[in-house]
Chain A
Amino acid sequence: MSLWFKRFLGLILLITTVGIATCQSLVKADEHPKIQALSTVIGR
């Protein structure tokens, strides 16, 4: 594997993992898992 290809692959991997994790975190920033679980229980 050439150095250039290795770096390119690393770049893609880094952008994908960090990028997706931060995007998901942005989308779910208003979710309160514990409060939601509590309201589900109360709702029942």
Chain B
Amino acid sequence: MKSIMADLKILRSNPKRFVKETKNWISAASGSLLYIIPLLLIFATMKAFATGNLLGIFVNAGGYAAFLLAAQLLRRGLKAEIVYREKRVASVPKWPLKGMASIIVAITTFSVAWLGAHNSFMVSAAFGAGAFLGMILCYGLDPSKQKTVAGNHGYTIEEISSTIEAAESVILSIENANNRIRNLEFNTRIDRICETARTILDELEANPSAIRRTRKFLIVYLESTNKVTTGYANTHLQAETPELEQNFRSLLDNIENVFKEQKEKLLQEDLFDLDVQIEVLAKQLKHEGIV
């Protein structure tokens, strides 16, 4: 559940990377359908109250609450599925949320048909089975296979996912800091840096054997960029001096250039040169008092 929530957090706050196919009409309509269809149960509850039908009150009110729960689970399941589809490397969602929603809908429909509408047991069972089948046909089953990249890269799905998610959260932090900076030039540059970082993460997903090199790269560069950007975002509104601006500009220049170079080198698997470059930048950042 925790990893699904982490995925959803990334999805919600980081739409550029994952949300590419949310325009699917069935997905868009799907989340809200289970909120809308059982609306009549509210009126049924009111009618049961008005006529003093205690069983009716419980069945109709409880039924509506159960449909709402199923709708929530379904929406989360659909979002988790989008995250799963968009990733090249992904583990199976921990909870089969869509399946749980289908079972709740089936049981609730059966109960409403039996206790609320006073149908026979078998007819009510047919209602429940129909609702279950409808849910499965309409929304499908939960993902059941782990997605990984072929090849002997020697990393588990958890290692790859955690590296990528950690880097994603740093990129997100940079973007949040960038939103607080009131300078179009800097905003554009930081956006470009984040784009390059995402390209590297895409490459990493496609080729996990580069994790060792990429991890070092991400720790030094992304973390430093994060510190620089957050620091500037915190201070520039209080004391904006031309000197501070110029320092930040030159740092961004360096980071941006070296970032591009590193991306190319990573793609070319030029390990030795990469390590040297990382050392140079680390020293430079240390000299500037950032690391």
Contacts and interface: CB of A to CB of B under 8 A. Distances in A.
B135 A10 contact: yes
Contacts of A33: 118
A6 B136 CA distance: 9
Nearest to B110: A21
B37 A14 contact: yes
Interface of B: 26, 33, 37-41, 43-45, 47-48, 50-51, 53, 55-56, 59-60, 63, 67, 105, 109, 112-113, 116-119, 127-128, 130-131, 133-139
Given A22-B112, A30-B48, 10 more contacts: A7-B138, A13-B131, A14-B131, A19-B37, A22-B41, A22-B63, A25-B112, A29-B47, A29-B51, A32-B53
A29 B137 contact: no
B138 A29 contact: no
20 contacts: A10-B137, A11-B26, A14-B105, A14-B135, A14-B138, A16-B134, A18-B37, A18-B105, A19-B37, A22-B39, A25-B40, A25-B44, A25-B60, A25-B112, A26-B44, A28-B117, A29-B51, A29-B56, A30-B53, A31-B118
A5 to B, nearest CB: 9
Interface of A: 6-7, 9-33
Contact of A17 (B118, B130, B136): B130
A7 B139 CA distance: 7
B131 A18 contact: yes
Contact of B139 (A9, A10, A18, A31): A10
A22 B47 contact: no
B26 A7 contact: yes
Contact of A13 (B44, B118, B130): B130
Contacts of B47: 26, 29-30
B44 A22 contact: yes
B130 A16 contact: yes
A28 B115 CA distance: 10
B112 A17 contact: no
Nearest to B47: A29
B271 to A, nearest CB: 44
B142 to A, nearest CB: 15
Contacts of A9: 137
A32 B50 CA distance: 13
A17 B138 contact: no
Given A10-B139, A19-B37, A25 B117 contact: yes
